[in-house]
Amino acid sequence: MNARTAALLAQLAQRPLLCDGATGTQLQGLGLAPGACGELWNTQFPERVRSVHRRYFEAGADLLTTNTFGGTACVLESHGVAGRVHELSYAAARLAREIAGERAWVLGDMGPFGGMLEPLGETPVETVAAAFREQAEALLAGGADAILVETMSDPAEAAVAVRAAKAAGADLVVATFTFQKTTVGYRTMMGTTAAAAVAAALEAGADIVGANCGTDLSLPDYELLTAELVAAADGKPVIVQPNAGSPKLVDGQVSYAESAAEFAESAPRFLAAGARIVGGCCGSTPAHIAAIAARLTST
């Protein structure tokens, strides 16, 4: 294991760590059109991407997430730039690394490939495994300290991504799933429980597991979900990254309900439920992360 990753785990053993908040909604605030390819900004507008990382770093985030959620060839293909995987993810990792410096760590972000794996869908596992591996290699080459496989619904896809990240040489892989509340409890879109999702990620070799960006989950829901994740995690650290409520249209603008103060209030409860890393997903801002940081240092 490399020294930086070892230092991350050593810190985590001593204190809870703070992850950053949303990247996509922050870039939209800087002019990225919804549905546009945000990864292109890593080379087109590097200063804008850097500015998002800088604001989270200054808010107190220990972990910065690269702007590469849709950076696999599978997703980039839909924007006509499937050949630019290495260039865009490498550039993204460099940008985050520049801001993280010695005080923070860089999580190389990999989101879903955007389709359904065989046998439920039509995409062969080998295609997706190769795509995740290509992206993970670029993120690591650019200076990512760990790989974050996030917003997963299909445990099989998460397992493919985790294995690909390990095969690419990642010392540390984080895997998070996105849940919704159903009449029978918290489930991913594929109907997977927290226990089954975590088990699949751990079986594939994930070192840290958790949840991000749920659908219609309140902060108290995240607290209950955290307890389920911790129970399933077999002693591995758990990360929780709530979205700031569900997006709503207010006066033609997309707006998120949960305030920074509400976020900060709930952070100690996530930790009490056993989480070791907290951060934010869609709609959360540097103000949310700063509020959590202030709360965590005062308790």
Helices and strands counted in the chain (H then E): 12, 12
164: region left, alpha or beta (phi > 0 left; psi from -120 to 50 alpha): alpha
| φ/ψ (deg, to 5) at 17 | -105, 155
Gap between the terminal Cα atoms of the chain: 32
- How far apart CA 131 and CA 117 sit, in angstroms, is 13
- How far apart CA 134 and CA 161 sit, in angstroms, is 11
Distance of closest approach, residue 154 Cβ to Zn ion, in angstroms: 17
Residues belonging to the chain: 299
Could you tell me which stretch among 27-35, 189-197, 208-216, 268-276 binds Zn ion (CB under 5 A)? 208-216
281 binds Zn ion (CB under 5 A): yes
282 binds Zn ion (CB under 5 A): yes
Nearer to Zn ion, 193 or 243 (CB): 243
- How far apart CA 189 and CA 180 sit, in angstroms, is 7
Choice from 213, 219, 239, 275 touching Zn ion (CB under 5 A): 213
Nearer to Zn ion, 173 or 217 (CB): 217
Nearer to Zn ion, 188 or 243 (CB): 243
Nearer to Zn ion, 144 or 281 (CB): 281
27 binds Zn ion (CB under 5 A): no
Distance of closest approach, residue 31 Cβ to Zn ion, in angstroms: 19
- How far apart CA 82 and CA 78 sit, in angstroms, is 8
Distance of closest approach, residue 207 Cβ to Zn ion, in angstroms: 21
Nearer to Zn ion, 29 or 124 (CB): 29
Please choose, from the candidates 98, 22, 82, the residue with its C-alpha nearest in 3D space to the C-alpha of residue 256: 22
Could you tell me which stretch among 32-40, 121-129, 166-174, 206-214 binds Zn ion (CB under 5 A)? 206-214
CB 205 within 8 A of CB 142: no
Amino acid at 297: T
Could you tell me which stretch among 88-96, 107-115, 124-132, 236-244 binds Zn ion (CB under 5 A)? 236-244
140 binds Zn ion (CB under 5 A): no
197 binds Zn ion (CB under 5 A): no
Binding site residues, Zn ion, CB under 5 A: 213, 243, 281-282
